[in-house]
Structure 1
């Protein structure tokens, strides 16, 4: 596996990382890599459902075992919801006063061949825009 993080002071500090959409896929892989390379960090997995984040933590804890160098936590986050964004912001401010690294990985995709009606195209299109553009913005 290629080295994606250069040797820096980050690996020895108590930095706060937040990875959105991290309960599966690329975000999960980013958390996995961070947890094995960053010593004494705190890495937040965010997901739309808190239960998905907790499941991801369980999987990572089992698979990483003693190779895990950072604490992994989860927090619910729906980037299309202002209320959800405020909740995680307040949590991070209260617990840590800051974040050091944000990896904005949250996103949705759909396959055109699975869409049967024009109404469904509009619905999925708007949902995609709300998450992938407006939510990120």
Structure 2
């Protein structure tokens, strides 16, 4: 049965940045029908229990749907369930993602497997889900489509002359010493940033495809956050300058609530537009 509350689906919503997005929306004064998309229902249910313990009161309702973006059958079943229960999606937040660069560097995955799995999760699966969800988005009076990208995906910022005063850019973009093999990186990101650059083009394609349908589309670059992504310990991420994850959740909430409608179709950071 359709609800009057804005229906928001957050993939990968049970942990990391996804959880912080759900939490920020759940704590908002605006009422939502929030849907946590999770590969394992028990993890989603645990996230709901944690959320309700951390946010005492809310105007929103929350539910869980099983969705694995690497499985077409899982995607189709999840969209059918949301269609039956809610009748539409007002905001689709494509947050589910993965990073396998440490596993590649440590020899736990081959380069091909790491790249292909990362691309399948971060780009292909996101595209399949979006394709299936579009009919529900078009039933909304204010449809919003968000893709969670990365600050590391900016090609323009890989050039030394564009680093400016941003401390992180030399760390991730400076060249290692000559010779082979190269020394291990403290934070390898080659496959991850490559897929996120691809995701930005996917966002531009969806912005083009859905422009005349009135769907607002963005890539959201939430900043470097201590979420433990890619098996990097959160404390190590903080030492490397990562901010607290709730800041990213609050930024995404602001996009959902219309505070960045002047930057539709772009990759956006909280304080600036991210260069391509």
2:61 aligns to what?
71
Residue 12 of structure 2 corresponds to residue 18 of structure 1: no
TM-score after normalising by structure 2: 0.42
Q: Give the number of equivalent residue pairs.
A: 124
1:121 aligns to what?
111
CA shift, 1:113, in A, is 6.7
TM-score after normalising by structure 1: 0.82
Specify which structure has the bigger relative contact order, considering alpha-carbon pairs within 8 angstroms and separated by 6 or more residues. 1
Q: Deviations over 1:72-104 (max 9, x none)?
A: 111111111110111111111111111111111
Which consecutive segments of 4 or more residues in structure 1 shift more than 4 A? none
1:47 aligns to what?
38
CA shift, 1:39, in A, is 3.8
Contact 2:32-2:60 at 8 Å conserved across structures = yes
SS in 2 for 1:126: helix
CA shift, 1:117, in A, is 3.2
Unmatched 5+ stretches in structure 2: 128-276
- CA distance in 2 between counterparts of 1:118 and 1:14 reads 45
Larger Rg belongs to:
2
Q: Relative to structure 1, is the Cα distance of residues 118 and 61 closer, same or farther in structure 2, using a 3 angstrom cutoff?
A: closer
2:27 aligns to what?
36
- CA distance in 1 between counterparts of 2:30 and 2:66 reads 24
1:92 aligns to what?
82
Q: Deviations over 1:30-79 (max 9, x none)?
A: 1001111154321001111111111110100111012x221111111111
Unmatched 5+ stretches in structure 1: 1-12
- CA distance in 1 between counterparts of 2:72 and 2:100 reads 24
> Cα RMSD (Å) of the superposition?
1.8
SS in 1 for 2:23: helix
SS in 1 for 2:110: helix
Contact 2:7-2:90 at 8 Å conserved across structures = yes
Q: Relative to structure 1, is the Cα distance of residues 45 and 111 closer, same or farther in structure 2, using a 3 angstrom cutoff?
A: same
Q: Relative to structure 1, is the Cα distance of residues 120 and 95 closer, same or farther in structure 2, using a 3 angstrom cutoff?
A: same
CA shift, 1:19, in A, is 0.4
